[in-house]
Chains A and B, each alone.
Chain A
Amino acid sequence: MTARRLRASLKGWGGVGAMAVACALAAVFALLLPLSNARGDGSTGIGGQGVAEGTQVKEDTCTAPQDQSLSPSSDESGTTITAIKKRGYLSVGVDQNSYRWGYRDPNSTKKSSDLEGFDIDLAHEIAKEILGDPNAVRFHAIPTIQRVPAIKDGQVDMVVRTMTINCARLKDVAFSAPYFLTGQQVLAPKTSDITGYDKSLANKKICSASGSTANDKLKADQGSGKLVPSADISTTVPNQLDCLVRLQLGEVDAVVTDGALAASQAAQDPTVELKGDRFTTEYYGVAMKKDADDLVRRVNQVLVDYRKSGWRASYDKWLSPTLGADSESANPPAAKYK
């Protein structure tokens, strides 16, 4: 009896405590978000987690994470590249479920059931440049949450998997120069009255992948009042694609995810479209082991050449149909090095 009463009263305090924490967080967000916006840095949106952890400290050491990569070099004498050359193939972590980025056509009659997409093209390009054979590459399908551990454990040489360059990840892995510009975007049925990331989301149910940048951003924005409070962001799913399932079944009204992935969703359902502009700025990069400087420089050199020829052809093939030929993302982002 007493134990139960005690537990009940504790439960009450738990709720109060949680609310106090939520209030404190909201206050922190309210204070910090305008601050980071004032700096005019486009990459703030990515730092959902970073903001919560105390952006002030990080602001000094980590601004524009996409510009932190090492300068390109064609030198192949480093230990990492030597090991790869000795092995004879490149080991790349990719996605198998992102249509137009990295996916496997289930109806492929080819015996090999190859992966294909924008990320896969890039992986082949890197293999071709380093090893002289675009097919000297072994793909490992790794889940989103395993991207960083897979690199740290040495399970793969690199991850080419719609991976956003951000400060938190820079602590664990090294990134190449950015190879794609994107940002969080709203996806909704064409007939929907949602116009973008704005007031039209009032009373709408929004789906996002749990643990994703989108989910962090939604929570932060609802806390800070940037997102209408009546928007229901409680629906989270294991994978961003699951959001399209919920959208098609009418369980949610809109999806928030990377514009690039939202486009990949739109490519699978002609009745939905991207609504409004992207409301964050993010860059995709190739992630590698933190101390593999030779490989990072070599990949950056590959990207330099790829930007000149190959990049646009790949974009036109995989992404143009849904992102458009004149989108902001239609050209490779300019590379700046540390």
Chain B
Amino acid sequence: MTYPPKGSAAPPAPAGAPTMPGVPPQAGPAAPRGGPATPGTAPARRTAWAEGVDQLRATATTEPGRLRIIGAVLALLVVAFGAVTAWQMTERSAAADDVLHSSQPLSASAADIYRSLADANTAASSGFLAGGQETKSSRDRYELDIKTAAGKLITAANSSEPGSPSADTISKLNKLLPEYKGLIERARANNRQGFPLGGAYLRYANEKMQQQMLPAAEDLYKRENQRLSADYADAKPYPWAAIGLGVLALGGLVWAQRRNYRRTNRVLNQGMVAATAASTVVLLWLVVGHSVARAGLDESYDHGVRSLNVLHDARIASLNARGNENLTLVSRGAETKTLADGTTTVDAFDYDFQQDMKTLTKDLALAADLADDKAGEEPVQAATGNMKVWKSRHKEARAADDAGDYQGALNKVIGSKSDKPTGECFDGVDKNLALALTHEESEFKQAAGGGRDAMTGLPVGAAVLAVLAAAGALLGIGRRLSEYR
């Protein structure tokens, strides 16, 4: 325990003295450093650092000494290059992995919550319109949506940090879901008894869904998308520190070999050449690998995530439009809305339907723009076609209702195939959007997976190669050094 202070205290005086004159130009800075220290404290302040500097100066006076220093610095540079590369690329590859396996699935899961809630609301209103003749498929669809939403909420809860805004939103949704379901069941019970009160309950449930639950689900979806964007931002930037160190290490190696050549006229030093080669490989791998990964991630974002977002939005717009179309017939004019001009009064649900259709039209156009291949374009075009038919059939349904032909309007909305109902068009839009989503999802996985795979092995490879390069540099220097013995 008493060794180190003794060891460091003893040599300074003799070692320090000879160094000063040994390297006159560097004596300047050394002297003032020692200078301010009072003589009494001087030995105590002779730290290991100062001692090391002094030793270095002593060593630098001889060629073997210089070679040793050069070897050490080169080895250090190369190892640092490898280490920083491994560290930075581990980080990026982890972020890319998160994009692929964590944040995108969570974002998709949040979109599923959003979609299944909107879908449940739509299915509930369709079933309600059919009254006592509600079909099994519409009942099943509603129940499945509720189950999906409840299940995905648990998944989302598990991956959210307690106390975070996401967790709050999730618990809010968890509270609202049974409330909503209760209202729907009351609506059904009253409807089955033939009471118009059922319609009032359904409108209340819809209000809860539209004004509280869907905004919360959308909020969650946006948060997960932010997380996804953050992971993208972590995975994509160029590892400048690693690249800089790589250039520095390579420069050092080249300089050392040039110095070697000048002094000995020997062209090749095998160790150093090996070190240079290994470092070059790491640097190239780093730059090319990351560029490829970046391109993959960019593609997965541009053609995957952006398309997915637009398609999700379009699907939810179509679901809301369908729900509002149904509710127009359920509410039968019970709720109206005065437009901004202050004079025009319209049916609240038909107005919302028109707004949703506008969103759907816009999103489908955007999705068609973003679709980059035939397989992606086809379902979007098909959905657009369905939507156009939907719009014209909706007009017929409204005309029938306005003319007092309620049953005609009902048939035009939820009727059987022979009635050419809008339900057919909605199903078409929904089915085609689901197809497009599946396609974009696989595109995303391919591109993001490719991006992530481009980084695979880079951290380990860089570390191993850097160690080899450092060993090579040391061996190369060692060979020169042995000539002095």
Contacts and interface: CB of A to CB of B under 8 A. Distances in A.
B227 to A, nearest CB: 35
Given A107-B132, A113-B406, A146-B345, A244 B197 contact: yes
A99 B333 contact: no
Interface in B114-144: 128, 131-132
Contacts, number: 94
A322 B203 CA distance: 25
B434 to A, nearest CB: 31
A305 interface: no
Contacts of A113: 406-407, 410
B452 to A, nearest CB: 50
A111 B407 contact: yes
A139 B128 CA distance: 22
Interface string B184-210: 001000111111111111011000000
Given A113-B407, A141-B406, A149 B345 contact: yes
A241 B196 contact: yes
> Looking at chain B, what size class is its interface with the partner chain?
35 or more
Contacts of B132: 106-107
Given A91-B404, A107-B192, A143 B333 contact: yes
A172 interface: no
Contacts of B334: 97, 143, 238-239, 241-242
Nearest to B343: A149
A145 B192 contact: no
B155 interface: no
Nearest to A248: B186
Contact of A146 (B197, B331, B333): B333
A96 B196 contact: yes
B91 interface: no
28 contacts: A91-B404, A96-B332, A97-B334, A99-B195, A99-B196, A104-B332, A104-B406, A106-B131, A106-B132, A107-B194, A115-B406, A138-B404, A138-B405, A139-B406, A141-B401, A142-B333, A143-B333, A145-B336, A145-B345, A238-B336, A238-B348, A241-B196, A241-B197, A242-B203, A245-B201, A265-B197, A268-B196, A269-B197
B347 interface: yes
A81 B422 CA distance: 38
A277 interface: no
B402 interface: yes
B369 interface: no
A91 B347 CA distance: 20
A27 to B, nearest CB: 29
A113 B333 CA distance: 17
Contacts of A146: 333, 336, 345
A138 B191 CA distance: 25
A327 interface: no
B114 to A, nearest CB: 26
Interface in B341-390: 345, 347-348
Contact of A244 (B131, B200, B345): B200
A59 interface: no
Contacts of A97: 196, 199-200, 331-332, 334
A103 B331 CA distance: 11
Contacts of B1: none
Nearest to B205: A245
Nearest to B405: A138
Interface string A39-57: 0000000000000000000
A61 interface: no
Give the interface SS of chain A, mostly helix, strand, loop or mixed: mixed
A242 B348 CA distance: 15
> Looking at chain A, what size class is its interface with the partner chain?
20 to 34
B161 interface: no
Given A111-B407, A242-B203, A244-B200, A141 B332 contact: yes
B403 interface: yes
A328 interface: no
Interface in A123-148: 138-143, 145-146
Contacts of B410: 113
B335 interface: yes
Interface string A230-254: 0000000011011011001000000
A176 interface: no
Nearest to B182: A249
Contacts of A242: 200, 203-204, 334
Contacts of A245: 197, 200-201, 204
* Residue from B192, B198, B332 having most chain A Cβ neighbours under 10 A: B332
A268 B190 contact: yes
A98 B196 contact: yes
A140 B402 contact: yes
Contacts of B404: 91, 138-141
Given A103-B196, A146-B336, 16 more contacts: A97-B196, A97-B200, A106-B194, A107-B131, A107-B132, A107-B191, A111-B407, A115-B406, A142-B333, A143-B334, A143-B347, A238-B334, A238-B335, A241-B197, A268-B193, A268-B195
Contacts of B345: 143, 145-146, 149
Nearest to A91: B404
A145 B336 CA distance: 8
Interface string A65-106: 000000000000000000000000001000011110001111
Interface in A245-282: 245, 248, 265, 268-269
A268 B194 CA distance: 9
A271 B196 CA distance: 17
Nearest to B128: A106
A139 B407 CA distance: 12
B135 to A, nearest CB: 15
Interface string B14-32: 0000000000000000000
A191 interface: no
Contacts of A265: 197
Contacts of B200: 97, 239, 241-242, 244-245
Contacts of A142: 333
B194 A105 contact: yes
B278 to A, nearest CB: 63
A112 interface: yes
A112 B200 CA distance: 23
Contacts of B131: 106-107
